[in-house]
Amino acid sequence: MTNIIKSTINSIKPLDETYRKKLYAYHKTLLMPEDALSPILSYVEKLAAIKRENPVHVLKKKVVVLFAADHGVVAEGVSAYPQEVTRQMLQSFANEWAVITVLAKKERMDVLVVDTGVIGEPVLDNKIINQKIRQGTNNFVNGPSMSEKEAIKAIEIGIKTAEDIAKKGYEIAVVGEMGIGNTTSCF
């Protein structure tokens, strides 16, 4: 394990349950049907435990971070779309044509895309960060999709991205991924 991964793991603090419980108790005093809004209130209670605040302030600076890469398993015919669509999606993120960019804009969220392995030349745009580890992964049907060194580099890119957005003042990040064949690699 690398130093950056070790130090990141060591810096993670557990939720402070006293904040969550205090906000939960307050929510139970509100006049509403039992368990009304429970998914939303549960989220706010967890946020209170993470941020160690009660009440939780309104999050003003928000970002969606998408990590993009091509998956070698597409060679097995697992996708309805050709692999070139991944790179086309990067261009649509940059031009704010993709659904996620439209939704993010409506919610006053910035969108940041990190290219960690999309096949082809990097998309040149200030919203697309080129952190290409390689040109797509190997087909995992034939062996490992990445080497251990590449997997560690991917984790470190994620940590560095989190640090960078925190330095820019973002209070919360919604993290996602994009890549043709990605669903196959999840199962």
Using the predicted structure, report yes or no on whether residue 137 has a pLDDT greater than 70: yes
Confidence class for position 187, pLDDT limits 50, 70, 90: low
The reply to whether 97 and 156 lie within a common domain is: yes
Residue 142, in any domain of the structure: yes
pLDDT attached to residue 32: 87
Cβ–Cβ under 8 Å, residues 66 and 176: yes
For residue 94, what is the DSSP state? H
How many domains is the chain built from? 2
Q: Where are the alpha helices (DSSP H) in 30-118?
A: 38-51, 84-94, 99-106
Quick: pLDDT tens for 49-66: 998 988 888 889 999 999
The reply to whether 100 and 149 lie within a common domain is: yes
Residue numbers of the domain that contains 101? 62-186
Mean pLDDT across 167-186: 90
Quick: pLDDT tens for 13-46: 999 999 999 999 999 898 888 878 888 899 899 9
Q: Answer with the residue of higher pLDDT: 183 or 157.
A: 157
The reply to whether 149 and 176 lie within a common domain is: yes
48-52 long-range contacts, Cβ below 8 Å, gap at least 24?
A: 48/19, 48/20, 48/22, 48/23, 49/15, 49/16, 49/17, 49/19, 49/20, 50/15, 51/19, 52/16, 52/19
Cβ–Cβ under 8 Å, residues 133 and 85: no
The reply to whether 43 and 75 lie within a common domain is: no
Confidence class for position 86, pLDDT limits 50, 70, 90: very high
The fraction of the chain above a pLDDT of 70, given in percent, is: 99
The reply to whether 80 and 151 lie within a common domain is: yes
Quick: pLDDT tens for 92-112: 999 999 999 999 999 999 999
The reply to whether 8 and 73 lie within a common domain is: no
pLDDT attached to residue 5: 95
Q: In what order do the strands lie in the sheet with 62-69?
A: 128-130, 109-117, 62-69, 172-178
Residue 57, in any domain of the structure: no
For residue 56, give every residue at least 6 positions away whose Cβ sits within 8 Å of its Cβ, in sequence order, or none: 23, 44, 47, 48
The reply to whether 162 and 129 lie within a common domain is: yes
Question: CATH no. for residue 109?
Answer: 3.40.50.10210
Q: Which residues, listed in sequence order, are joined to residue 41 by a DSSP beta bridge?
A: none
Mean pLDDT across 71-85: 92
Residue 56, in any domain of the structure: no
Query: How far is the CA of 32 from the CAs of 38, 160, 167, in angstroms?
Result: 11, 43, 39
For residue 73, count other CB atoms closer than 10 A to its CB: 22
82 preceded by a cis bond (ω within 30 of 0): no
For residue 55, count other CB atoms closer than 10 A to its CB: 11
Cβ–Cβ under 8 Å, residues 84 and 37: no
Give the H or E element holding residue 7. Answer: helix 3-11
pLDDT attached to residue 33: 87
pLDDT attached to residue 9: 95
